[in-house]
Amino acid sequence: MMQSLPGFRDFLPDDCAARNYIFARWREVALCYGFNEWDGPVLEPTDLYRKKSGAEIVDQLFNFTDKGEREVSMRPELTPTLARVVAAHERAFKKPLKWFSIGQFFRYEKQQRGRLREHYQLNCDIIGESDFAADIELIALCIDTLRTFGLTEKDFVVRISDREFWADFLRQQKLPTEKWEEVLQTIDKSGREPRETTEAKLGKLADPVFSIFDKGGDSGKLDRLVDGLGARGLAGFVDVDVRIVRGLAYYTGTVFEVFDRAGKLRAIAGGGRYDNLIGQLSDGAVSMPALGFAMGDVVLGELLRDRAAAREKLEAAVNDQNKIDIYVVIAKEQRRPDALEQIQELRDRGYRVDYPLTAEWPQVKAKNLATREESLIAGDALLDSVAKFFNVSGSG
Ligand code: HAM
């Protein structure tokens, strides 16, 4: 038997129904926030990621040389594509742009719980707005997206942080800017690595960094962010946590990641500000502040199945998708053409209609109402089998 590749999923009908449910909720909330849907190609020049995503993603690229000798990659994320597209077309749109997209992404990662080699993401980005109101709006959208699945502040938390906080710190420590990215990556991994490993990598910065971890960082900007969300009744969904810096290289300001409250799963979503990426990708031709986040379907799916209220909604949606409104029994085979005419009419009106494609006769479905057993019996054996049943049960 041929098997699928590691980290790639088959979607059986119930899985497709669950996926449709997730996409429908994603789309609904993004549209509610006034975002417009867009999409880009799944294959891009490898350089787009080499230049912009940072080392971790480049190691995970599904890349190859195409028949025209081009170095290409399956997209591991959408943000570099978005920056390219916006730099090319921004003049056609009024600012700020609020764009969302739902699509499949590919990363050659070590397969583990919550991490596969393909996954779907909802991406939501706001381009051309540097005001802090956009940061609050984006995080509110991320929270509301999860709330529509029936998840509450008991189920997930948005950990927010600020790369500028760390930039100020590294400046104070007089660390040359070309070393910043390495330190930020170490801080990003610190939650997943033993303390000694992080200490060794940080060297003389280890003490001050760990002291910030222990005390929690002091940031007026992050306090204002929480206040802004509080004004919408969403403060219970967020925690300030300066340990979050994000693995991707292009972030410049606010960054955040969403986790399950129980801390059992990988990140559900992540994002932040990337005010320099569009300028860098267009060699300075177009310079626009931007921010966004992506939410993946894999960990979200795990969480939805884990939390009772969310699971009920998911299961109801799956059942609803696969249900039929009307099943037409064709009692007389000679009348099949008439039945088909009516079936056609019912379907034209939007009913979900099913019927047997071939004659059920000469077989009959018999059901023993006492035992609830069902069996198919050939038509000419019906009398015999009924007689046998009454003899055996002796009930006359
Ligand atoms: P990211 O944190 O790399 O961010 O991915 C976002 C989400 O996608 C993760 O939180 C996770 O749920 C899901 N995800 C990522 N990799 C995998 C995987 N191998 N298997 C399953 N799920 C995965 C970005 O991609 C940024 N481009 C987000 C962004 C948009 N920033 C600004 N705009």
**254-260 and 43-45 strand pairing:** unpaired
Model confidence, pTM:
0.90
Q: How deeply is 113 buried, as exposed, middle or buried, from its count of CB atoms within 10 A (0-12, 13-18, 19+)?
A: exposed
CA-closest residue to ligand 1 atom 25: 77
Is there a contact between 293 and 33 (Cβ–Cβ < 8 Å)?
no
CA-closest residue to ligand 1 atom 6: 294
The pLDDT, as a whole number, for residue 393 is: 60
* pLDDT, mean of residues 377-382: 70
* pLDDT, mean of residues 117-136: 97
The pLDDT, as a whole number, for residue 359 is: 87
CA-closest residue to ligand 1 atom 33: 292
* Ligand 1 closest atom vs CA 274: 32
Q: Determine the residue of 106, 109, 299, 300 to mutate for testing ligand 1's pocket, defined as the one with the most ligand atoms within 8 A of the Cβ atom.
A: 299
The pLDDT, as a whole number, for residue 46 is: 94
Per-residue pLDDT tens for 164-180?
999 999 999 999 999 99
Q: Average pLDDT of the chain?
A: 92
**Ligand 1 centroid vs 43 CA: distance in angstroms?**
17
Q: Please say if the pLDDT value at position 237 is more than 80.
A: yes
Per-residue pLDDT tens for 68-113?
999 999 999 999 999 999 999 999 999 999 999 999 999 999 888 9
Give the pair of three-digit tokens for residue 126. 């706001």
**Ligand 1 centroid vs 365 CA: distance in angstroms?**
51
SS (H, E, C) 182-235: HHHHHHHHCCCCCHHHHHHHHHHHHHHHHHHHHHCCCCHHHHHHHHHHHCCCCH
Question: With a 6 A CB cut-off, is 159 part of the ligand 1 pocket?
Answer: no
Is there a contact between 277 and 82 (Cβ–Cβ < 8 Å)?
no
Query: Which of 119-133, 278-292, 304-318, 366-380 comes out lowest in average pLDDT?
Result: 366-380
Is there a contact between 213 and 241 (Cβ–Cβ < 8 Å)?
no
* Ligand 1 closest atom vs CA 79: 27
Per-residue pLDDT tens for 3-47?
999 999 999 999 999 999 999 999 999 999 999 999 999 999 999
* pLDDT, mean of residues 349-377: 81
Could you tell me which residues are beta bridge partners of residue 73?
A: 44, 63
* Ligand 1 closest atom vs CA 269: 10
Question: With a 6 A CB cut-off, is 252 part of the ligand 1 pocket?
Answer: no
Question: With a 6 A CB cut-off, is 83 part of the ligand 1 pocket?
Answer: no
Q: In Å, how far are 33, 155, 303, 304, 384 from 308, measured between CA atoms?
A: 27, 11, 10, 8, 50
Q: Is the peptide bond before 96 cis (omega within 30 degrees of 0)?
A: yes
Q: Determine the residue of 85, 298, 302 to mutate for testing ligand 1's pocket, defined as the one with the most ligand atoms within 8 A of the Cβ atom.
A: 298
* Start-to-end Cα distance in the chain: 52
Q: Please say if the pLDDT value at position 265 is more than 50.
A: yes
The pLDDT, as a whole number, for residue 360 is: 78
The pLDDT, as a whole number, for residue 352 is: 97
The pLDDT, as a whole number, for residue 130 is: 97
The pLDDT, as a whole number, for residue 379 is: 64
* pLDDT, mean of residues 366-388: 75
Burial 141-162 (b: 16+ CB within 10 A, else e): bbbbbbbebbbebebbbbbbbb
Burial 295-326 (b: 16+ CB within 10 A, else e): bbbbbbbbbbeebeebeebbbebbeebeeeee
Say which residues have a Cβ less than 8 Å from residue 201's Cβ, sequence separation at least 6.
186
Question: With a 6 A CB cut-off, is 268 part of the ligand 1 pocket?
Answer: yes
Q: Please say if the pLDDT value at position 396 is more than 50.
A: no
The pLDDT, as a whole number, for residue 56 is: 73
Instruction: Answer left, alpha or beta for residue 216, where phi above 0 means left and psi between -120 and 50 means alpha.
Output: left
HSE on the CB side for 309, CA within 13 Å? 10
* pLDDT, mean of residues 148-165: 96
Can you point out the beta strands (E) in the chain?
36-37, 43-45, 63-65, 71-74, 97-106, 118-127, 156-162, 238-240, 254-260, 269-273, 290-296, 326-327, 353-354, 363-368, 373-378
Q: Please say if the pLDDT value at position 217 is more than 70.
A: yes
**Ligand 1 centroid vs 141 CA: distance in angstroms?**
16
**Ligand 1 centroid vs 393 CA: distance in angstroms?**
63
Question: With a 6 A CB cut-off, is 82 part of the ligand 1 pocket?
Answer: no
CA-closest residue to ligand 1 atom 11: 296
Query: Which of 148-152, 179-183, 292-296, 310-314 comes out lowest in average pLDDT?
Result: 179-183
**Ligand 1 centroid vs 297 CA: distance in angstroms?**
10
Is there a contact between 38 and 101 (Cβ–Cβ < 8 Å)?
yes
The pLDDT, as a whole number, for residue 377 is: 73
- Over pLDDT 70: what percentage of the chain? 96
Q: Please say if the pLDDT value at position 363 is more than 90.
A: no
Q: Scanning the structure block, which residue is given the tokens 């699509």?
A: 103
CA-closest residue to ligand 1 atom 14: 296
Per-residue pLDDT tens for 41-73?
999 999 999 877 666 778 899 999 999 999 999
Q: How confident is the model at residue 191 (pLDDT cuts 50, 70, 90)?
A: confident
CA-wise closest residue to 123 among 105, 100, 93, 90: 100
**Ligand 1 centroid vs 355 CA: distance in angstroms?**
44
**Ligand 1 centroid vs 277 CA: distance in angstroms?**
17
Query: Which of 27-31, 209-213, 254-258, 301-305 comes out lowest in average pLDDT?
Result: 209-213
